[in-house]
Amino acid sequence: MPFMDHFLEEVVTKRNNTVNRIIYYFSWVIMIIAAVFASLTLGTLTMNFNWMSVITIVVSAGIAVYIWFFHDKLLTEYEYTFTNGSLDFAEVYNNKKRKSLGSLNVRNVEAFGKVDSESFRRYISMPGIKKMNWFLNREAELYYFYFTKESDRKIIIFEPSEEMVSYIRQYLPNGAYRE
């Protein structure tokens, strides 16, 4: 009987992304206006020095730089890659920047199930637990992993498809799946 690889990659996007897109494009407008305003104020500063112009330059340039570095986070996606019992998580910003969130061997989890279950409420209410929300749509059917790593208790909440859930269940240790 040949060994069959289980591989599945999913990208989770926000279902209603209209507001984020509007804010994203508006952030470009604000960034350009702030940068132009800072450069114009810098031009007047060379002719006539005053502290108010310096403060204006610093604030408007700071706004432009801040928006430049963080506006891509408005269009965030999560990527889940399942390969033979190992699940990799990544955060993708505007299809440009990718940040690896970590890997999880499904065989090492203590519990896996739906977020709307009693077992999830029991785990999430435990003191000292670190919760990682790696989902975008609150109305989606969310699942959780509960595990201990280096004596830290952690919960990952994410939104996999039914196909990914079936792959995960094949690799879970006995008794880890919670209804």
Residue 162 lies in a domain: yes
Number of domains present in the structure of the chain: 1
Whole-number mean pLDDT of the chain? 92
pLDDT given at position 50: 85
Average pLDDT over residues 77-103: 95
Return the higher-pLDDT residue of 53 and 100: 100
Nearest-angstrom CA–CA distance, 55 and 61: 10
Residue 179 lies in a domain: no
| Residue 55 domain boundaries | 1-174
pTM for this model (two decimals): 0.82
Residue 21 lies in a domain: yes
Nearest-angstrom CA–CA distance, 39 and 173: 61
